């Protein structure tokens, strides 16, 4: 029986004016995966941009819905049905204000926590897909959330954003192995490598 392909959908808003928004963290993460592995060119399909390639030897589709965030399900739903994918073969990457900037959490299923992109996908394919939550931090006041996510990542943000994106890309083959915990652990380890212990040689007796 052939292996079921994987679909990784990154969420965001289309257009150059949104490209560096915090709300586009999913788009940005999928772009870095696209650049890091042998994927084909982006092509317009399923009201989005689709690229085909492989992760860890598994056939993988990358999808960036161009429906605008709130209607992401209008892109993910048709792709899931066309490729006849179970929910377990779908990974959605999205920004998360309730996680500290640079933190990653991955889980299967659950609620949408007020995220309109997730709400749209859940309505289209059900709630049991996998989610990679990309922490972009909270502005501290509910009234400032809209502006926070629709503002660009700052220059200071790059100090955590670039290492995080690199870690997501390096750990991505674990998603193809359906290993969410391994993926999270590897991202965390790559972001915070253990300090190397000093390899101090003991002196020879004759030198002591």
What are the structural domains of the chain? 6-191 (3.40.50.1470)
pLDDT greater than 60 at residue 204:
no
- Nearest-10 crossing angle of helices 180-191, 158-171: 140
Tell me the average pLDDT across 115-140.
94
Query: How many CB atoms are closer than 10 A to CB 5?
Result: 16
Chain centroid to CA 105 = 10
CA–CA distance, 178 with 196 (Å, rounded to integer): 30
116 touches 80 (CB < 8 A): no
pTM value? 0.90
In percent, how much of the chain has pLDDT > 90?
A: 81
Instruction: Give the active site residue among 23, 34, 94, 148.
Output: 23
CA–CA distance, 105 with 99 (Å, rounded to integer): 8
Q: Which run of H or E residues covers position 143? A: none
Of the pLDDT bands very low, low, confident and very high (cuts 50, 70, 90), residue 1 is low
pLDDT greater than 50 at residue 207:
no
Least confident of 52-61, 110-119, 129-138: 110-119
138 is catalytic: no
């Amino acid at each position: 029986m052939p292996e079921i392909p994987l679909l990784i959908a990154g969420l965001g808003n289309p257009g150059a004016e949104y490209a560096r928004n915090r709300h586009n963290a999913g788009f940005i993460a999928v772009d870095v995966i696209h650049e890091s592995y042998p994927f084909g060119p982006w092509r317009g399909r399923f009201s989005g941009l689709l690229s085909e390639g492989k992760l860890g030897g598994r056939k993988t589709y990358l999808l960036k819905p161009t429906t605008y965030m709130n209607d992401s399900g209008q892109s993910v739903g048709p792709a899931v049905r066309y490729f006849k994918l179970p929910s377990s073969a779908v990974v959605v990457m999205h920004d998360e204000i309730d996680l500290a900037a640079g933190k990653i959490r991955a889980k299967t299923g659950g609620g949408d926590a007020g995220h309109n992109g997730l709400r749209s996908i859940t309505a289209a394919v059900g709630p049991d897909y996998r989610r990679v939550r990309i922490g972009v931090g909270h502005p501290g006041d509910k009234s400032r959330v809209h502006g926070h996510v629709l503002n660009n990542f700052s220059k200071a943000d790059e100090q955590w954003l670039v290492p995080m994106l690199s870690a997501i890309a390096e750990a991505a083959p674990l998603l193809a192995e359906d290993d969410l915990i391994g993926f999270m652990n590897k991202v965390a380890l790559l972001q915070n490598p253990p300090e190397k212990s000093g390899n101090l040689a003991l002196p020879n007796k004759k030198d002591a």
